[in-house]
């Protein structure tokens, strides 16, 4: 069986094609294809087609999808989700929606209670709190000051060097990891698909956490 995982949430992205076997947790990575930021809409579908063709597969060979649903770039997320929605609807295959914050949390060495953090810009931080082996979680957008105050005495997992430095300077323990790519999304997605935790194409939506500029700056209707 084949699983396709995509991440278009950041300045750059990637696609992963993986082989999976029902009842087994292992995911065999066939290939990872990087995507250059700013051109996801032009690259994503052609790259998926080229990747499958390169390894002798067709779209109909795909058994499911895993996709980053946020937080991240509004435009990038929309492009990635739209492509997976269309493929899943045509092929009638399941989708696992994965939070980038969860991917960060589960890429670190910590177990038990985990706190993931991503620089959201504008002096703000995306924060996700997770419990190992549990779907319970809490994701929020905090000011940098709120993040530092709330993280006092906790261990934080982040791939952002600047955020890690700020946290360490405040006396917070930090596990700095590499930025997770679609290989991590494939592994998390397969685990979720195996448990039946899927979403339909029509229900798949972005997890922005932050409101868009259009929503923030729109004038109230009189």
Structural domains of the chain, with CATH: 2-100+180-212 (3.30.420.40), 108-176 (3.30.420.40)
Kind of pairing between the strands at 124-131 and 137-143: antiparallel
pTM for the full predicted model: 0.91
Quote the CA–CA distance of 180 and 164 in Å, as a whole number: 16
In Å, what is the CA distance from 120 to each residue of 117, 125, 162, 182?
Answer: 9, 5, 12, 20
Burial tier of 121 (Cβ tally within 10 Å: 0-12, 13-18, 19+): exposed
pLDDT at 113: 87
Angle between helices 74-91 and 40-54 (to 10 degrees): 40
Query: Does a cis peptide bond (omega within 30 degrees of 0) precede residue 37?
Result: no
**Residue 89: its pLDDT value, please?**
97
CA distance 181 to 191: 16
- Could you give the angle at the alpha carbon of 76 between the alpha carbons of 114 and 57, nearest 5°? 90
**H or E element that contains 215:** helix 213-217
The pLDDT assigned to 216 comes to 40
Each residue's pLDDT tens digit in the chain (222 positions)?
999 999 999 999 999 999 999 999 999 999 999 998 778 989 999 999 999 999 999 999 999 999 999 999 999 999 999 999 999 999 999 999 999 999 999 998 877 889 999 999 999 999 999 987 666 689 999 999 999 999 999 999 999 999 999 999 999 999 999 999 999 999 999 999 999 999 999 999 999 997 644 444 344 444
Radius of gyration, alpha carbons of the chain: 18
Q: What is the structure's pLDDT at 71?
A: 97
Backbone angles phi, psi at 142, to 5 degrees: -120, 155
- Per-residue three-class SS string for 112-162: CEEEEEEEEECCEEEEEEEECCCCCEEEEEEEHHHHHHHCCCCEEEECCHH
């Amino acid at each position: 069986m084949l699983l396709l995982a995509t991440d278009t949430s950041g300045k750059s992205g990637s696609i992963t094609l993986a082989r999976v076997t029902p009842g087994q947790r292992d995911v065999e990575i066939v290939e990872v294809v990087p995507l250059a930021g700013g051109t996801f809409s032009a690259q994503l579908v052609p790259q998926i087609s080229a990747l499958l063709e390169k390894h002798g597969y067709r779209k109909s060979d795909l058994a499911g999808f895993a996709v980053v649903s946020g937080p991240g770039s509004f435009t990038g997320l929309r492009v990635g989700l739209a492509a997976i929605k269309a493929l899943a609807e045509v092929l009638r295959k399941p989708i696992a929606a994965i939070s980038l914050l969860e991917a960060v949390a589960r890429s670190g060495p910590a177990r038990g209670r985990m706190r993931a953090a991503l620089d959201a810009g504008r002096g703000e931080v995306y924060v996700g709190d997770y419990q190992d082996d549990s779907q319970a979680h809490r994701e929020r957008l905090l000011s940098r000051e709120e993040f530092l105050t709330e993280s006092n005495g906790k261990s934080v997992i982040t791939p952002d060097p600047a955020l890690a430095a700020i946290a360490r300077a405040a006396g917070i323990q930090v596990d700095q990891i590499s930025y997770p790519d679609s290989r991590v999304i494939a592994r998390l997605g397969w685990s979720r698909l195996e448990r039946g935790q899927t979403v339909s194409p029509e229900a798949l939506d972005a997890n922005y956490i932050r409101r868009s500029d259009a929503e923030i700056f729109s004038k109230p209707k009189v």
